[in-house]
């Protein structure tokens, strides 16, 4: 495993090769899951050091433990790699106040830094690597001329040092940017927030869990602030609405063309929360329209934007169309899809487009531009939580009465 005839430079070149191989593995994995090319890892260049370090740990372990049984060696590989992953995750959070990856949604995880599924995967990869890849790589590399290896190793070390320095600076700047965003979120304009987020686009794409971590932190602050402001206002609005007559005729005149549109009516076929998307957007649009009218805002744009806010024609929980987002990506992606669909069949003004694009705020961090968009975002959350609760109650009830209930077919269709 360790060859006494090879000097230090050969091992540096091997380290570079394994960091590069790790980068390829991560790029393929991340690009497939995010459906676009993602430059994975913390360095700017095509190297991920944790793979090189893990490879050398495994090589050294194999060198000293080669007389042990395969099962024992596997267990040691798994433990050591998991310990390295845990330490790296823990230290990056302590030093940079950022969680670069988060396994807390996986079963059998430890503080979100490691989890059984990935530890088993690393163990398998390490075993395959140490038994098949490394001996072959060593044999081939030994055939290379020493002078060439020395040059490549020196160039790599220089490059690696520069890249590490820049990447640490950029991570520290990211940390500073995020801290600024946490503090100043309510004083910044949408454009400024967008600029800050865009300046760290690469890191946010390379570590999607980091994005989630930042989102959760900002969302917590937004919720506290908005919650304390919204509670008395929302109570007043609902009191007023209860005492008023509905404006059905005007509402239907405003949105009639959308409701009648053949493509839009397809929303009746897709289950959402407790009924169909069609039913959900209709309810959100009507509530938003009335709040907007009560507040003397642009209630026509509010109604139309709200009606189109979830104009996506797929079931986000289970579908087999590779280009469509699913589950955790759906939350961020579907507003863009809804805007594209709405533009295709209807003309949108600025307010309507902002309503659709920002209705998931604060999940999508850039805040809405117009008061009407805040109203729709609020109405959507308010009604969605009611729909979820009613569906949850229905399911509990069905389970209690032990009536077999087919998955989605019992959902009411409007």
Which spans of this chain sit near Fe ion (rule: CB under 5 A)?
A: 310, 380
Distances (CA, A) of 63 to 27, 29, 76, 372: 30, 30, 13, 66
The residues, any chain, with a CB within 8 Å of residue 250's CB and separated by 6 or more, are none
Nearer to Fe ion, 102 or 310 (CB): 310
Nearer to Fe ion, 294 or 382 (CB): 382
Q: How far is the CB of 237 from Fe ion (least distance, A)?
A: 19
What is the chain's percent helix, strand, coil content, to nearest 5? 70, 0, 25
Nearer to Fe ion, 14 or 287 (CB): 287
Q: How far is the CB of 272 from Fe ion (least distance, A)?
A: 7
Q: How far is the CB of 294 from Fe ion (least distance, A)?
A: 21
Q: How far is the CB of 334 from Fe ion (least distance, A)?
A: 6
112: left (phi over 0), alpha (psi -120 to 50) or beta: left
Q: How far is the CB of 170 from Fe ion (least distance, A)?
A: 33
Nearer to Fe ion, 12 or 355 (CB): 355
Nearer to Fe ion, 45 or 335 (CB): 335
17: its two tokens: 């090769």
First to last CA, the chain: 68
- Count Cβ atoms within 10 A of the Cβ of residue 342 and give its class: 0-12 exposed, 13-18 middle, 19 or more buried: buried
Cβ 266 vs Cβ 337: under 8 Å: no
Cβ 123 vs Cβ 74: under 8 Å: yes
Distances (CA, A) of 153 to 17, 55, 90, 119, 149: 11, 17, 30, 31, 6
Q: How far is the CB of 316 from Fe ion (least distance, A)?
A: 9
Nearer to Fe ion, 353 or 380 (CB): 380
CB-CB neighbours of 27 under 10 Å = 18
Nearer to Fe ion, 62 or 310 (CB): 310
Q: How far is the CB of 278 from Fe ion (least distance, A)?
A: 12
Distances (CA, A) of 144 to 48, 129, 132, 149, 150: 24, 21, 20, 7, 10
Q: How far is the CB of 364 from Fe ion (least distance, A)?
A: 10
Nearer to Fe ion, 199 or 384 (CB): 384
Q: Report the relative pairing of strands 275-276 and 109-110 from DSSP bridges.
A: unpaired
Half-sphere exposure of 54 (CA within 13 A, CB side): 30
């Amino acid at each position: 495993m360790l060859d006494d005839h090879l000097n230090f430079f050969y091992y540096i070149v091997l380290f570079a090769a394994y960091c590069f191989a790790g980068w390829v593995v991560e790029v393929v994995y991340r690009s497939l899951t995010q459906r676009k090319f993602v430059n994975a890892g913390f360095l700017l260049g095509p190297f991920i050091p944790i793979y090189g370090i893990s490879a050398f740990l495994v090589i050294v372990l194999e060198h000293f433990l080669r007389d042990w049984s395969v099962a024992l060696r596997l267990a040691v590989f798994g433990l050591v790699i998991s310990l390295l992953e845990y330490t790296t995750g823990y230290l990056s959070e302590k030093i940079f106040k950022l969680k670069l990856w988060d396994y807390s949604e996986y079963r059998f995880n430890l503080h979100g830094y490691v989890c059984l599924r990935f530890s088993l995967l690393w163990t398998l990869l390490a075993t395959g690597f140490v038994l098949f890849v490394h001996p072959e790589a060593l044999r081939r590399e030994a055939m290379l001329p020493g002078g060439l290896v020395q040059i490549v190793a020196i160039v790599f070390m220089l490059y690696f040092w520069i890249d590490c320095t820049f990447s640490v600076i950029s991570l520290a700047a990211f940390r500073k940017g995020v801290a600024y965003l946490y503090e100043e979120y309510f004083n910044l304009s949408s454009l400024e927030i967008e600029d800050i987020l865009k300046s760290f686009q690469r890191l946010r794409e390379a570590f999607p869990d980091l994005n989630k971590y930042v989102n959760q932190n900002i969302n917590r602050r937004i919720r506290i602030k908005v919650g304390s402001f919204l509670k008395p206002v929302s109570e007043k609005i609902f009191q007023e609405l209860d005492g008023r007559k509905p404006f059905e005729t005007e509402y239907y005149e405003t949105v009639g063309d959308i409701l009648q549109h053949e493509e839009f009516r397809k929303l009746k076929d897709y289950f959402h929360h407790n009924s169909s998307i069609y039913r959900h957007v209709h309810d959100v649009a009507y509530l938003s329209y009335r709040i907007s009218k009560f507040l003397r805002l642009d209630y026509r744009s509010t109604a139309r934007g709200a009606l189109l806010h979830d104009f996506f024609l797929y079931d986000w929980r289970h579908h087999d169309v590779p280009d469509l987002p699913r589950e955790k990506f759906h939350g961020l992606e579907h507003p863009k899809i809804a805007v594209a669909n709405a533009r295709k069949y209807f003309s949108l003004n600025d307010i309507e487009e902002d309503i659709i694009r920002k209705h998931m705020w604060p999940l999508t961090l850039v805040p809405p531009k117009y008061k009407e968009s805040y109203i729709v975002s609020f109405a959507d959350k308010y009604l969605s939580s009611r729909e979820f609760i009613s569906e949850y109650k229905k399911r509990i009830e069905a389970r209690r009465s032990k009536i077999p209930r087919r998955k989605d077919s019992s959902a009411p269709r409007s």
